[in-house]
């Protein structure tokens, strides 16, 4: 389970980097950010499992979940404002 959480959380960072590299094409930029959002959601799902199995405390789960909610919110804002990011790539 730890390996899955690490893998998905690292994938988020890598997909954001790939989105940035592809920002010349808005559709590709948004696609990669959507994939990153999916990976972030999967990370949260694994954290739920870790809590359910009592591998992490309720306090840890709340903190980690809040952090991933914040990541998701930032990704959504980037998607909503893709024009701003993609314009600077031209």
2-87 belongs to which CATH class? mainly alpha
The pLDDT score that the predictor gives to residue 90 is 54
pLDDT of 13 > 60? The answer is yes
Burial 11-40 (b: 16+ CB within 10 A, else e): bbeebbebbeebbeeeeebbbbbebbbebb
Q: What is the mean pLDDT of the chain?
A: 92
pLDDT of residue 2: 77
Predicted TM-score (pTM) of this structure: 0.86
Question: Which of helix, strand or coil describes residue 18?
Answer: helix
pLDDT of residue 5: 81
The answer on pLDDT for 19 being more than 60 is yes
């Amino acid at each position: 389970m730890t390996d899955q959480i690490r893998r998905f959380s690292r994938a988020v960072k890598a997909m954001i980097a790939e989105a940035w590299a592809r920002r010349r094409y808005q559709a590709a930029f948004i696609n990669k950010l959507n994939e990153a959002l999916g990976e972030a959601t999967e990370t949260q799902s694994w954290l739920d499992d870790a809590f359910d199995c009592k591998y992490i405390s309720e306090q840890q789960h709340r903190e980690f979940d809040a952090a991933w909610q914040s990541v998701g919110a930032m990704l959504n804002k980037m998607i909503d404002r893709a024009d701003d990011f993609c314009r600077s790539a031209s």
